[in-house]
Amino acid sequence: MKNIFFLLLFTNCALANDDLMAEYFNHFLTTFSSHSVSRDDYAFFVSYEIDPTMRTNYDLSPPQRYLNIDSDPDFVIKNTDVLFSGGKSRGLFLNFIRKNILSDQKIILGRLITYNKGPVIYSFKIEKYQKDNVVIFENILALIPGSDNTSEFSCSYVFRKTDNRSVKLVDVNCAG
Tell me: pLDDT of 70 over 80: no
Distance between CA atoms of residues 167 and 156, nearest Å: 16
Q: In this predicted model, which residue has the larger pLDDT, 135 or 6?
A: 135
Q: For the chain, what percent of residues have pLDDT higher than 70?
A: 89
CA 155-122-168 angle, to 5 degrees, is 40
- Residue 136 has what DSSP assignment? E
Per-residue DSSP letters for 72-107? -TTHHHH-GGGGGTSHHHHHHHHHHHHHHTSSSSPP
First to last CA, the chain: 59
- Predicted confidence at residue 54, as pLDDT, reads 83
Tell me: pLDDT of 13 over 60: no
Q: Tell me phi and psi for residue 107, to 5 degrees.
A: -75, 125
CA 120-30-56 angle, to 5 degrees, is 30
User: Average of pLDDT values for 111-117?
Assistant: 95
Confidence of residue 163 (pLDDT cuts 50, 70, 90): confident
Tell me: pLDDT of 7 over 50: no
The whole-model pTM stands at: 0.85
Nearest CA-CA partner of 22 in 110, 137, 130, 156 = 130
Q: For the chain, what percent of residues have pLDDT higher than 90?
A: 59
pLDDT digits (tens, 9 = 90+) for 17-44: 458 899 999 999 999 999 999 999 999 9
User: Average of pLDDT values for 65-84?
Assistant: 83
- Predicted confidence at residue 18, as pLDDT, reads 58
Q: How far lies 162's CA from each of 86, 132, 158, in Å? A: 27, 8, 12
Decide: 49 and 8 in contact? Cβ < 8 Å.
no
Nearest CA-CA partner of 111 in 158, 18, 22, 101 = 101
- Predicted confidence at residue 34, as pLDDT, reads 92
Tell me: pLDDT of 174 over 50: yes
- Predicted confidence at residue 15, as pLDDT, reads 38
Query: How many other C-beta atoms can be found within 10 angstroms of the C-beta atom of residue 107?
Result: 13
Tell me: pLDDT of 125 over 80: yes
* Domain boundaries along the sequence of the chain: 2-175
